């Protein structure tokens, strides 16, 4: 069975744009997973991490998956590891972050994977690119674009015309 899945990408170390583009390619190459849409890239200040962390580049992808949410999580974590991700400081600087935000038809609270993502509704760096990818997207019964307008970190975000793949929609 195929499901739609939304993932957020972020990077604030090294060649951030190259890491995001490479992640799109890596995710698209995983058996049972294909990238069906890419948002434009946004630039944001670090949220919740150590003081003085470098700015992030962020984007949102829509995937078509034939995997379970847990298999999708393992695939995303493998892509992070292949890009040098180290989990030493919570919300610390990283070469690549890949978070599952929403998985069609799934609501779960599990120590390893909560869906939808528990903080997505308040993160402009997720909501703005997601709403640019899919203006009709909803999270928790609310339009993502409306949630984005109320996000506490909206002021620290700037949009770009950069895209990560040829599937960009809604921009």
As annotated, the active-site residues are 85, 94, 97, 99
Q: Which residue has 């069975």 as its token pair?
A: 1
d(CA 104, CA 92): 29
Residue found by looking up tokens 């995983």 in the block: 30
Q: What is the CA angle 26-143-99, rounded to 5?
A: 25
Q: How far apart are CA 18 and CA 163, in angstroms?
A: 11
Under 8 Å CB-to-CB from 52, ≥6 apart: which residues?
Answer: none
How is residue 4 written in tokens? 């739609």
């Amino acid at each position: 069975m195929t499901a739609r899945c939304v993932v957020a990408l972020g990077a604030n170390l090294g060649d951030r744009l190259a890491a995001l583009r490479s992640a799109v390619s890596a995710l698209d190459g995983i058996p049972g997973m294909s990238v069906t849409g890419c948002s434009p890239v946004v630039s944001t200040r670090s949220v919740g991490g150590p003081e003085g962390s470098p700015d992030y580049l962020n984007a949102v992808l829509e995937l078509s998956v034939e995997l379970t949410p847990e298999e999708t999580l393992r695939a995303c974590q493998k892509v992070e590891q292949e890009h040098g991700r180290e989990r030493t400081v919570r919300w610390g600087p990283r070469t690549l972050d890949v978070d599952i935000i929403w998985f069609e038809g799934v609501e779960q609270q599990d120590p390893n994977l909560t869906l939808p993502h528990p903080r997505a509704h308040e993160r402009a760096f997720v909501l703005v690119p997601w709403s640019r990818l899919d203006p009709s997207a909803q999270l928790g019964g609310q339009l993502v674009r409306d949630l984005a307008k109320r996000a506490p970190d909206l002021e620290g975000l700037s949009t770009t015309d950069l895209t990560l793949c040829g599937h960009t929609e809604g921009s």
